Structure formats: structure tokens, C-alpha cells
């Protein structure tokens, strides 16, 4: 029984280029208040282009209908639960959008005089301070543009710190449960990757770790809680093993939303970590960005932070470029400041207690789903979990139905699927993260849906194998898309 949704009529929409017709326009410029300059004589005829062939020409009404119709072809958090494990799809408070658009902030130019940028620098400084308090670290840079960019920044700092002691070392240790960005980051930072196997509980095997950590290891990149939602209980021992050999503990803070107000990486041995403001701190995912990936470090890494850094002078905030040991810039200007504004608004709205309560509810929601779904789906790792839990399709696979099929069937029930086939250590993974901003009623509907699908798989597996049935777009042929890539629209040959 599908309770959350029923089908409704949904409009088709052509591509912009197919809607275009010559001479249509959706703009009007004010009259030019200076003499018009002839482009060919100013730029040189050879530097001046002819028309932009096939560029769209539509009216304002058609433009807004185009994008509004297309928007209705999307699912979104504002429509309901979006339980993508590891992605932390929580409510994005609307007031954050409004404050980020305030004129003095939104129109601030990165090169305007510091005396006329004090407000926005204050916002950034306050956010740095609060993130340091939340993580238990000593300093924060807001420059990286996303989580993976933060990883890159953090690892370059580890490298520079080791280099300052004589040698950058050769490799990074990365658990097999890690996000793909971790090994990709290692390569970009000039390190080889050694994978670490997880034990039966889904945690780092500490004995194995102790055997492989040597003077070639620059750092362990660890997500805690890890991608199974399991807190690495031996984290202080892990940090001790690394530190004893002069290596660093890099913490991937993708799952920091499970710890805020409960435990701080800086207190359990992390030397450097990144945060995803678009996860823990609710800045909107926007269909795939913008993100923001601040990096927090302990005292010994501060000299290596990217430049410039905010510095307090007598008369206010200033940018300090005089940082001889800095790894340099990882991005122009100062980072995704619009995201910093939103994240600070989120923190201010919660306050210290509210942030902790959010963590409690996130963990409550995840465990509630875990308990109610466990009778129906296989839970390969039995360790206690925090903000997310990972089932496998082991039982359903016997009927020929895999995690990807169950995910597609969930769409018919009105839900966005969980994360499919990740982490890699769980074959047929179904990775579920509800976040704290889901009501009990929404969670109950989700449980109903997954129980109902489990029954369908027993009785009518084909129904699940061919899902989704009620969407305007049925299952998409991704294989042909990759084999014969069509990456842009082209006009019909005349």
C-alpha cells in the first residue's frame, strides 16, 4: 500500500534550444548613457565574434515556465525524507538563504578595502571560532570549496609539516570503507595509497594497523563515525599508534553530524580534519553544490594553513599574507563565503544546546529505522551505530532483487532512495541516513514502504525489478549514455 504519494499530471518540457525562435527576448537593458563603441574597431575585427550560433532566444514567460516545469521533475528535501547515507540531507533553513542575500554581504567584492569588509570578515572569524569549538581543534581555514577540496588542503598541510622535519613520507593509509575522495585526494597530494581492511565489526583492525604503520606512513585518513555509522571505539589507541611513528591522524569529517556536542575529534587525537558545511551545517546541496570544506587543525599545523588568514589588529580584522610556511592558496579569494554565512546562521539558530539536540535526534532517527527494518533486511555489522545504518540486500538477492532495484521501487512509494552499493565493504549495501529533521510520521511511512517492498519481493519480484512505475521517467539507460556519449544538444542537420 503506497501511502505517501499518488500519481498526478506532470508537464512535459522541451529543451530551451527547441523552444527558441529568432527575435524573442526576455531582457531589456537601460539606454546606454555613454557613446556606443564599435566592437570591431575597439577589439579588432579578428577578435570580434559573429553571432553565438544556436544560443537560446526565449521570452521571460517561457523562461520561467521552462525552469519551473523542469523543477517539478526533481525530488527534494522540501518534499520529504531524502535518506542518502553519508550525504546528510537535512532541512535547509530558509532564513539562511535570505541573510546570505543581504546587499552588504552578497555584493561584497573580495578586493574592497578591509575597512569596508569588517562585517563579512567578522562573520568568517566567528564561524572559524565556533567550528574550532565544535571540533576541539585549534584553528580553522574556510578557504576550501568542498569536502574533497578540504581533504586535499589538509593532506597538503600534513605533507608540508612532515617536509619541514626533513621528509614528506610516501603513503597514506585508508580504510576500505572510506569515501572514494580519500584515495583520489592522496594521489593529487603525491601519496601512494595503502588500503586497510576493516574487521568483522566494521571498525579499523587495530592490530593490523599497528603492524603497517611505519616511517613511510604520512597519515591515516579516517572517517569517524565511519561509513557504516559505527564509532571507531579504539580511536585514541589508533591516534597513539600513528603518533608514536610520527604519522598524523586525518579525520574525514563527513559524519561530524553524529558527534557535534557529544565528542570532539580534537579531544580524541585528530591532528587535522575537514568539515562539509553542506552536510553537518545544513547549507543546501543545490543539486550537487556549492559545498564548502573548512579544515580544522591542531597547533602544530597552524603555520601551514593556506593563505591568507584572518588576523585581528587593533582597528579590526585584516588579511595576513605573511605566512612563509603556508601551503599557499588552494582557491582564489577566501572560499565559498556565501556558504559560511549560511552555516553561521545555522549555528546561531541552534546554539550549543540545540546543536547537541540535533545530534541526539539524528542518532535517534537512525536507530529507530534500524530497529524497525532489521526484521526485514540483513544487517551485516552488528556494532552499535550512530547517525546512519547500512543494511545489505542479501535476503532479497536470493530472489534476484538487488539494492538498486529496491531503491528504484522506493521512488514509487514517494521517497528518494538511500545510498546504493556504498560502502564497498558491504556487498549490496543499502546505506540509510534519515538526519534529525525528519518527523516520526515521515520515518514511519518510510518503514512501511520498505516493509511493503520486502513483501513484494517475496510475492511479485518483477514489480520491484522493473521499478519505478509511477515516475514520469522510467528506468534510464545509463549504459548507452556512457558508451555513446551525447553531452550537448545539436541542431537537426538541415
For the CB of residue 191, give the shortest distance to another protein in the complex, in Å. Answer: 8
- Within 10 Å of residue 490's Cβ, how many Cβ atoms? 8
Which single residue is written with the C-alpha cell 583492525?
A: 205
Range in contact with another protein (rule: CB under 8 A) among 97-105, 209-217, 395-403, 450-458: 97-105
CB of 199 to another protein, least distance (A): 16
Indicate the burial class of 28 (C-beta count within 10 angstroms; 0-12, 13-18, 19 or more): exposed
Among 354, 378, 394, 461, binds another protein (CB under 8 A): 354
What CA–CA distance (Å, rounded) separates 290 from 218? 30
Minimum distance from residue 323 beta carbon to another protein (Å) = 12
Q: Is residue 229 at the binding interface for another protein, with CB under 8 A as the rule?
A: no
Which one of the spans 206-214, 353-361, 388-396, 452-460 is the region binding another protein (CB under 8 A)? 353-361
Q: What separation, in Å, do the N-terminal and C-terminal C-alpha atoms of the chain show?
A: 51
Is 244 a residue that touches another protein (CB under 8 A)? no
Instruction: Rule CB under 8 A: say whether 249 interacts with another protein.
Output: no
DSSP 202: S
What sign results for the dihedral spanned by CA atoms 101, 105, 108, 111?
Answer: negative
Site for another protein in 376-435 (CB under 8 A): 383-384, 386, 407-408, 411, 416-417, 420, 422
One of 166, 288, 324, 375 touching another protein (CB under 8 A): 288
Q: Is residue 116 part of the contact set for another protein (CB under 8 A)?
A: yes
Q: For residue 357, which phi and psi values (nearest 5 degrees)?
A: -60, -35
Binding residues for another protein restricted to 53-92, rule: CB under 8 A: 53-58, 60, 63-64, 66-68, 70-79, 82, 84, 87, 89, 91-92
| Residue 473 makes contact with another protein by CB under 8 A | yes
Smallest distance, Å, CB 214 to another protein? 20
| Identity of the residue, 64 or 458, whose beta carbon is nearer to another protein in the bound complex | 64
Sign of CA dihedral 224, 228, 231, 233: negative
**How far is it, in rounded angstroms, from Cα 472 to Cα 188?**
41
481 binds another protein (CB under 8 A): yes
Judged by CB under 8 A, the chain residues 207 through 226 that form the site for another protein are: none
Cα–Cα distance, 366 to 213 (Å, whole number): 34
Which x/- pattern, by CB under 8 A, does the window 134-173 give for another protein?
Answer: x-x--------xxxxx-xx---x--x--------------
DSSP 8-state assignment for residue 274: E
Which residue of 271, 393, 405, 438 would you call a contact of another protein, by CB under 8 A? 438
Residues 8, 25, 313, 494: which binds another protein (CB under 8 A)?
A: 25
Decide: is 243 part of the binding site for another protein (CB under 8 A): no
Q: Are 436 and 362 in contact (CB under 8 A)?
A: yes
Minimum Å gap between C-beta 147 and another protein is 6
Q: Which is nearer to another protein, 2 or 364 (CB)?
A: 364
Q: Which stretch binds another protein (CB under 8 A): 215-223, 349-357, 394-402, 451-459?
A: 349-357
User: Minimum distance from CB of 299 to another protein (Å)?
Assistant: 18
What is the C-alpha to C-alpha distance for residues 390 and 452, in angstroms, rounded to an integer?
Answer: 19
Long-range contacts of 320-328 (CB under 8 A, 24+ apart): 325/160, 325/164, 327/153, 327/156, 327/157, 327/159, 327/160
**336's grid cell:** 565559498
Contact 270, 158 (CB under 8 A): no
Q: How many CB atoms lie within 10 A of CB 78?
A: 10
Which one of the spans 214-222, 241-249, 263-271, 452-460 is the region binding another protein (CB under 8 A)? 263-271
* Bridge partners of residue 230, in order along the sequence: none
Helix (H, G, I), strand (E, B) or coil at 66: helix
Q: In the complex, what is the shortest distance from the CB of residue 318 to another protein, in angstroms, rounded to a whole number? A: 14
- Beta-sheet pairing, 429-432 with 419-420: antiparallel
Residues near another protein (CB under 8 A), total:
199
Amino acid at each position: 500500500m503506497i501511502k505517501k504519494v499518488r500519481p498526478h499530471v506532470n508537464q512535459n518540457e522541451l529543451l530551451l534550444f527547441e523552444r527558441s525562435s529568432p527575435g524573442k527576448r526576455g531582457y531589456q537593458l537601460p539606454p546606454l548613457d555613454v557613446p556606443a563603441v564599435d566592437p570591431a574597431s575597439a577589439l579588432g575585427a579578428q577578435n570580434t565574434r559573429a553571432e553565438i550560433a544556436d544560443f537560446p532566444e526565449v521570452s521571460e514567460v517561457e523562461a520561467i515556465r521552462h525552469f519551473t516545469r523542469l523543477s517539478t521533475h526533481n525530488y527534494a528535501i522540501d518534499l520529504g525524507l531524502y535518506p542518502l547515507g553519508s550525504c546528510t540531507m537535512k532541512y535547509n533553513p530558509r532564513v539562511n538563504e535570505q541573510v546570505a542575500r543581504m546587499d552588504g554581504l552578497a555584493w561584497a567584492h573580495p578586493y574592497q578595502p578591509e575597512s569596508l569588509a569588517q562585517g563579512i570578515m567578522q562573520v568568517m572569524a566567528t564561524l572559524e571560532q565556533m567550528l574550532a569549538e565544535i571540533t576541539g581543534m585549534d584553528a580553522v581555514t574556510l578557504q576550501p570549496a568542498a569536502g574533497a577540496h578540504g581533504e586535499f588542503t589538509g593532506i597538503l598541510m600534513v605533507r608540508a609539516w612532515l617536509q619541514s622535519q626533513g621528509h614528506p613520507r610516501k603513503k597514506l593509509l585508508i580504510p576500505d570503507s572510506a569515501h572514494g575522495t580519500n584515495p583520489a585526494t592522496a594521489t593529487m597530494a603525491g601519496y601512494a595509497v595503502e588500503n586497510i581492511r576493516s574487521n568483522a565489526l566494521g571498525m579499523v583492525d587495530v592490530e593490523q594497523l599497528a603492524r603497517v604503520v611505519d616511517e613511510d606512513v604520512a597519515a591515516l585518513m579516517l572517517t569517524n563515525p565511519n561509513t557504516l555509522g559505527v564509532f571507531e571505539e579504539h580511536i585514541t589507541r589508533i591516534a597513539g599508534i600513528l603518533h608514536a611513528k610520527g604519522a598524523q591522524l586525518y579525520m574525514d569529517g563527513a559524519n561530524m553530524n553524529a558527534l557535534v556536542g557529544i565528542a570532539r575529534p580534537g579531544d580524541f587525537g585528530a591532528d587535522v580534519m575537514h568539515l562539509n558545511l553542506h552536510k553537518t551545517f545544513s547549507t543546501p546541496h543545490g543539486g550537487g553544490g556549492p559545498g564548502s570544506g573548512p579544515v580544522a587543525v591542531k597547533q602544530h599545523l597552524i603555520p601551514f594553513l593556506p593563505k591568507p588568514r584572518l588576523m585581528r589588529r587593533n582597528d579590526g580584522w585584516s588579511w595576513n599574507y605573511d605566512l612563509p610556511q603556508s601551503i599557499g592558496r588552494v582557491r582564489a579569494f577566501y572560499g565559498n563565503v556565501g556558504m559560511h554565512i549560511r552555516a553561521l546562521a545555522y549555528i546561531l539558530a541552534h546554539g550549543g544546546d540545540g546543536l547537541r539536540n540535533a545530534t541526539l535526534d539524528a542518532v535517534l532517527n537512525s536507530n529507530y529505522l534500524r530497529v524497525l527494518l532489521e526484521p526485514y533486511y540483513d544487517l551485516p555489522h552488528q556494532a552499535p551505530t550512530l547517525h546512519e545504518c547500512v543494511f545489505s540486500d542479501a535476503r532479497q538477492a536470493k530472489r534476484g532483487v538487488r539494492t538498486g532495484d529496491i531503491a528504484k521501487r522506493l521512488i514509487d512509494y514517494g521517497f528518494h532512495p538511500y545510498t546504493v552499493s556504498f560502502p564497498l565493504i558491504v556487498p549490496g549495501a543499502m546505506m540509510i541516513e534519515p538526519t534529525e529533521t525528519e518527523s516520526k510520521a515521515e520515518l514511519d511511512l518510510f518503514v512501511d514502504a520498505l516493509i511493503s517492498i520486502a513483501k513484494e519481493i517475496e510475492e511479485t519480484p518483477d514489480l520491484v525489478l522493473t521499478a519505478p512505475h509511477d515516475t514520469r521517467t522510467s528506468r534510464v539507460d545509463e549504459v548507452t549514455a556512457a558508451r555513446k556519449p551525447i553531452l550537448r544538444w545539436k541542431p537537426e542537420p538541415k
